Amino acid sequence: MEAAAAGKAKVVVVGGGLAGSLLAKTIQGDADVFVVDPKEYLEIPWAELRSTVEPSFAERSLIYHRDYLTQGTLVTSSAINITENAVLTADGQSLGYDYLVIATGHAVTSPGSRAERLKEFQRDNGKIESSESVLIVGGGPTGVELAGEIAVDYPEKKVTLIHRGPRLLEFIGEKASKKCLDWLTSKKVDVLLQNSVDLGSLSDSEKSYKTSGGETVMADSHFVCIGKPLSSSWLHGTILKESLDNKGRVMVEKDLRVKGYNNIFAIGDITDIPEIKQGYLAQKHALLVAKNLKLLIKGSPVSKLATYSTGYPIAMVSLGRNEGIAQLPYVTLSGCLPGRIKSRDLYVGKARKQLGLNA
């Protein structure tokens, strides 16, 4: 087992997504920090769709962990087990901890190497470029934002968006769903609701897709944009197995300690906090836990820790480069104003600055 540096508390952060990276960056001067992630880079998730139509955009939205983790240690592997005092990784390491933070968000589907991820965007862009028609499966934020990017950058291509549910963007209000549907329809995107295709039978060589509603969609290529599951199955065999709810989320106290533990915290989408799962909230969790870790390291009792409270749910969905939809307290906006807030740079500059990097 790695020995803790004399005199410094050892903090292991499992998951270097939006939440884990900000926490590690914030706490690294106060503790001996280890970040465990199978990828050598942080990916700003919602920039993926812009990178699909403009691969060079990913140069700024894929950030090497080593760029912000200037005083800590990166362990490029998956965590596979947790004991009372150590995290075990897939590559056979045992990382001792004084404090542990679980920030594993959603399942990992991207390659570990940043260069490989950049190549994926090139390949996907090539697929769009060489297609006259594109089928997108899934009408959540990923499918909707991809449809918006293609409709704006490639207006001559035929885009079909197929969604199993009764409305798009089911994670936010009906008004926002309707505005989104109207916008996509105005851009000549065919939206098929309450329809699905058999994912097992999808293949770009087919070019003809049968829907559950009996329609046939012709498309030269397809993209599957269904939500990724939480990355919590690995916790089932660990000391935290009793701390998971029936949806696989980690149950936390108001100060974001994992229920039943004084030295283990959880942050971001993996938690059972009753709120929309959003990156800006995951970052709020990270800053709160950084503060709480500093208090504990200085010897404060658990009773003095800061607590988290949920706010009104705010959500922004980009629709191409200049427009978007914003669900704000009491009002839902669509068009250029939300577009100016999110769609132009997709908060990439902001996320980079929070990590101490050039925008």
CA distance 187 to 185: 5
CA distance 342 to 50: 12
Q: How far is the CB of 113 from ligand FAD (least distance, A)?
A: 13
Q: b vs e for 189-210, b when ≥16 Cβ sit within 10 Å of the residue's Cβ?
A: bbbbbebbbeeeeeeeeeeebe
Q: Among residues 21 and 263, whose Cβ is nearest to ligand FAD?
A: 21
CA distance 180 to 201: 29
Which span (99-107, 207-215, 250-258, 331-339) binds ligand FAD, by CB under 6 A? 99-107
- At a CB cut-off of 8 Å and minimum separation 6, what does 11 contact? 27, 31, 32, 33, 34, 97, 98, 99, 100, 101, 293
Q: How far is the CB of 349 from ligand FAD (least distance, A)?
A: 14
Residue 263 near ligand FAD by CB under 6 A: no
CA distance 320 to 301: 49
Q: How far is the CB of 3 from ligand FAD (least distance, A)?
A: 22
Among 316, 325, 333, 351, binds ligand FAD (CB under 6 A): 316
Residue 176 to residues 31, 152, 330, Cα–Cα distance (Å): 43, 19, 12
Residue 344 near ligand FAD by CB under 6 A: no
Residue 231 near ligand FAD by CB under 6 A: yes
CA distance 44 to 289: 21
41 neighbors 124 (Cβ within 8 angstroms):
no
Residues 295-314: x where in contact with ligand FAD by CB under 6 A, - otherwise, as a string: --------------------
- Extract the tokens encoding 277: 């799962």
Among 9, 12, 13, 17, binds ligand FAD (CB under 6 A): 17
Residues 127-156 that bind ligand FAD (CB under 6 A): 141-142, 145
Residue 301 to residues 263, 267, 294, 305, Cα–Cα distance (Å): 11, 20, 11, 7
Among 40, 269, 323, 345, binds ligand FAD (CB under 6 A): 269
Q: Among residues 19 and 296, whose Cβ is nearest to ligand FAD?
A: 19
Q: How far is the CB of 232 from ligand FAD (least distance, A)?
A: 8
Among 175, 178, 259, 277, binds ligand FAD (CB under 6 A): 277
| Residues that bind ligand FAD in the complex, under the rule CB under 6 A | 14-20, 36-39, 45-46, 78-79, 103-106, 108, 141-142, 145, 231, 234, 268-270, 277-280, 282, 316, 342
